[in-house]
Homo-oligomer: A and B are copies of this chain.
Amino acid sequence: MRTIKAGEERRKEILLTARKLFVQKGYDQTSINDILKIVDIAKGTFYYYYSSKEEVLQAIIMDIVYEGAARAEQILQDTSIPLLKRIVMAVMAQAPEFEGAHKLAEELHKVDNAKLEQQYRKVMLKKMTSVLEGAVKEAGEQDIIHTDFPKECIESLLLMGHMMFDCDTFLWKAEEYPVKVKAFLCNAERMFGAKEGEFQEFMEMFE
């Protein structure tokens, strides 16, 4: 048991170090040797855990998805916040949020990392849809939202939020974002069949 635990700790140490390096130096500029030097392990030990630098990044991606999902779950459990507001906050919670997250996101979104971005997207959408499904069902039962397609609304909003605000798909200028966020919230309100003005509070944050 002791050996297994030590192995898990080493694995975590590799991931944590790699994540820091990818943020500081960039993914392309970080070598496996850079990671080895800091974790202080031999090359063979590294390859016992991961077969390539890309595999390390994939593991980091999984971690980021699961961190986002954990944040979303925490928000959804906070019954002091109105349910629909919790749902919107949980949708927004998928974006990576830790020191250096923005730089790592930039790395992920580089043209050469399109493959990783695609992987992140598929895993994130699947995980986050399952996290949000219960809350959306509850909102339907409580007559707060009115749609025959609750799961599909969640899928659409997660997809749009991710592509529009994390991936720079439309190459919008910085000054365009406030209106884009407002449009997103307005469309979310309509898709859910929520009471008009229900998301006004969020929208006013972007006035």
Interface residue ranges, A against B (CB under 8 Å)? 111-112, 114-115, 117-119, 121-122, 125-126, 147-149, 152-153, 155-156, 159-160, 163-164, 169-171, 179-180, 182-184, 186-187, 190-191, 193
Q: Is the CB of B122 within 8 A of A114?
A: no
A179 contacts across to B, CB distance below 8 A: 149, 152
Given A115-B112, A159-B163, A169-B159: A153 in contact with B187 (beta carbons within 8 A) = yes
Q: Is the interface of A mostly helix, strand, loop or mixed?
A: helix
Given contacts A114-B115, A191-B191, 6 further A-B contacts (CB under 8 A): A149-B182, A149-B183, A149-B186, A152-B184, A153-B187, A156-B187
B125 touches A169 (CB 8 A): yes
Asked if A152 contacts B114 (CB within 8 A), the reply is no
Beyond A160-B156, A160-B159, is A169–B121 a contact (Cβ under 8 Å)? yes
**Are B125 and A170 in contact, CB atoms less than 8 angstroms apart?**
yes
Nearest residue, chain B, Cβ from A193: B190
Q: How far is the CA of A159 from the CA of B160 in the complex (A)?
A: 8
Chain B residues with CB under 8 A of A182: 149
* Minimum CB distance partner of A191 in chain B: B187
A114 CB to nearest B CB, Å: 4
Distance of A92 from chain B, by nearest CB (Å): 16
Instruction: Collect the chain B residues with CB atoms within 8 Å of residue A111's CB.
Output: 115, 118-119
- How many angstroms from the CA of A164 to the CA of B193 in the assembled complex? 21
**Contacts of A180 on B, CB cut-off 8 Å?**
152
A149-B186 Cα distance, complex, nearest whole Å: 9
Residues on B with C-beta less than 8 A from A187 are 149, 152-153, 156, 191
Are A152 and B122 in contact, with the CB atoms below 8 A? Answer: no
B169 touches A122 (CB 8 A): yes
